[in-house]
Amino acid sequence: MALTGKLEIETEIKAPADKFFKIFRSQAHHLPNICSDKIHKIEVHEGDWETQGSVKHWSYTIGGNSKSIKESVESIDEENRSITFKVSDGEVLNDYKSYKFTTQAIPKGEGCLVKWTIEYEKASEDGPDPHDYLEFAVTVTKDIESHLLNA
């Protein structure tokens, strides 16, 4: 059984790609207001809300459990509206030795296609694949869509 893996999911939304990308690019501090039942708090630990290398601490609920992560912005690709985050601390690392997630907003008509990618290495052979985190990302995406369409 492979210890490393990569999962992807795409979700089409009616909000423009630039606006969706901007939330994760420079306005992540709004996420606790946009989807307060899922994301409770995001704080900057190093850097700022926009710079590659910045470190943020997230408090969130997934599967009915309160958890937290500390992530750093590994890369920002303005042209492709893509951001990659690398997790350095938090409960997710109980199941994974390494964990990265990328969000990308691809223009499609008036809206966009949001692509989430999770790259991970399991801590043990019988550890879970992070399907619950992909589902979490899709529900957050839908909350952001609602927020942007009602703004």
Burial class (CB in 10 A: 0-12, 13-18, 19+), 94: exposed
Residue 112 has pLDDT above 70, yes or no: yes
pLDDT at 58: 97
pLDDT at 1: 53
The two structure tokens encoding residue 102: 């990328």
Segment 8-19, tens digit of pLDDT: 999 999 999 999
Percent of the chain with pLDDT over 70: 99
Segment 113-124, tens digit of pLDDT: 999 999 999 999
Residue 115 Cα distances to 4, 23, 27, 86, angstroms: 20, 15, 19, 17
The CB-based long-range contact list for 72-81 (8 Å cut-off, 24+ gap) reads 72/46, 73/47, 74/100, 76/25, 76/52, 80/104, 80/106, 81/17, 81/18, 81/20, 81/21, 81/105, 81/106, 81/107
Burial class (CB in 10 A: 0-12, 13-18, 19+), 126: exposed
The whole-number average pLDDT for the span 50-75 is 95
SS3 category, 93 = helix
pLDDT at 151: 74
Domain boundaries, the chain: 2-148
Residue 2 has pLDDT above 90, yes or no: no
CATH of range 2-148; options 3.10.20.30, 3.30.360.10, 3.40.640.10, 3.30.530.20: 3.30.530.20
